[in-house]
Amino acid sequence: MKRISTQLALVLLVLTLIVPSFALAQTFPNPGRKPAKPPLSPAAIGLERDFDEALKMIQEQYVDGKKLNYNDVYKSSIIGMLRSLDPHSNYYDREEFDELKTDQRSEYFGIGASIQTYVRGDQADTYITATFDGSPASRAGLRYGDRIVEVDGVKMTGKPSLEVRDKIRGPRGSTVKLTLERAASLKLEKVDIVRDAVPQPSIPDAYMLKPGVGYIDMTRGFNYTTTDELLEALETLHAKGMNSLVLDLRNNPGGFLDQAIHVAEVFLRSGQLILTQKGRNGFRDNTYESRNNAPDMTPLVILINDNTASASEIVAGAMQDHDRAVIVGQTSFGKGLVQSIIPLEYGAGLTLTSAKYFTPSGRLIQRDYSNGGFYDYYTHGVGVGRDSNKEPAKPNGPEVKTDTGRAVYGGGGITPDESVNPRTINLSQRRLLSPTFAFTRDLVNGRIRGFESSKLTGPIKFRYDLEPEDFKVTDAMFRAFRDYVAADPSFKVTTAMVDRNRAFLENEIRFNLVTAAHGRVIGDRVFITSADPQVAKAVDVLPKARDLSSKR
């Protein structure tokens, strides 16, 4: 990337302060045309003079001036400027902007494997915990439990999984050289893998929770294909006899506005308002209504939590305001600002807030960001970083009414109709995760005495309908785990700790077994179907959802 110039930093500052947002709203402007620079106001001229003087002082007097990275200096000044506007306007250098665009394509470039660091004694190692169907890692034969010893000749022992992940990722078509300790043989093996696009669908899974009750996992964000994936999932579930639906939007960070509108449109009758968008001075103002003459009217429960944000809040808000769904879980994040994506010279880019959106009842769900810093906004606001044992804070916006006259509020996310805390893991249980993984690694490779038949052979079967009795942890298997832990003091786990957490451990062992045999997507079903209090509540309130549906 070419050096960010002083002039670029100043132009961005001036544009942000004086140019109407509609002029910056086009996602992909004509790269051959450059907008005329606006005339500088006296205030802007003063800022330019102060900026140049401050930079000169840094160059001449800063103690480590000879080590200055000017790209970092300019980048931080641009980011600081944008953060003074709101927490969601941001600057991305070329590499970051490429990653942003990749995320929107429902894919990334790498090998297609989940990894996790586990600790045994004083040693931390990163392991393959799953590969994705059709991915380079799957084609190369990587399996659950393979230990990553080196990446491109650099030792990975003791490094956190995020650092290992970043080392493995790289440009499409490039080769990453892995040294692995194979889980099956415990022998070192070198594997070269060519990085490629790895699909990241919006809807990784859809299945029946119980007869008549469908579940759709929409937790990964709204990208180009979200609505098409939703329609395909609905068709599949209806063919299996679905007569009510749980739509999971927990941890969904949002994404494309048009996809949120189309997803809401799937469930709303023609003419029903989805959202109102208001920009600066009347520009960017828009209303969006459903144009669906044949919506899916299946009784609906939507799951949300404190990481449900932006586009996913548009869907949840529209469903709640029209009494189309029962909302279950925790108060959502509270992001009611719309960003435009603006490419810049040399491959960099901006996301700049250009409008606010309002739910059908007129709610602005944006949380207040004026009384705290950037960190405080993302960690301590309504719906974020809460103590799960405390009563959730209520939004502080004005009261408005849903279609049937229920009171709802703006000013701080979507408040669920039924508040339920999530599944949590205490400190003792966290200490049990490493021995659970180690036990399962040996179990699926035939190294646990008496359970040699549990050895997995053949390819991973990614498409599988998990039944309640599949991979069930028996009394004998639990005793084997307890003996396994007791025989290795490096785990630092007592027998009493194991016995106290039996239900937790049985779910964890089963999750690991299913993941090893069928991949992470199917493995996640273990917790959804047997250990998720929010999902259990969603199933319990389905009669309420059916009642709402009958009134529409």
Residues designated as active site: 310, 321, 335
> Is the distance from CB of 262 to CB of 278 less than 8 angstroms?
no
Other CB atoms within a 10 A radius of the CB of residue 228 amount to 13
Residue with tokens 């590499």: 95
249: nearest Cα among 210, 199, 302, 293:
302
> Is the distance from CB of 507 to CB of 433 less than 8 angstroms?
no
CA distance 487 to 401: 62
> Is the distance from CB of 242 to CB of 213 less than 8 angstroms?
yes
442: nearest Cα among 509, 394, 395:
509
CA distances from 464 to 185, 410, 508, 519 (A): 27, 42, 19, 10
Alpha-carbon torsion, ordered 197, 202, 205, 208, to 10 deg:
-160
Pairing type for strands 325-329 and 418-419 reads parallel
Q: Is 192 exposed, middle or buried (0-12, 13-18, 19+ CB in 10 A)?
A: exposed
Q: Is 367 exposed, middle or buried (0-12, 13-18, 19+ CB in 10 A)?
A: buried
List CB contacts of 213: < 8 A, sequence separation 6 or more: 242, 243, 244, 245, 246, 539, 542
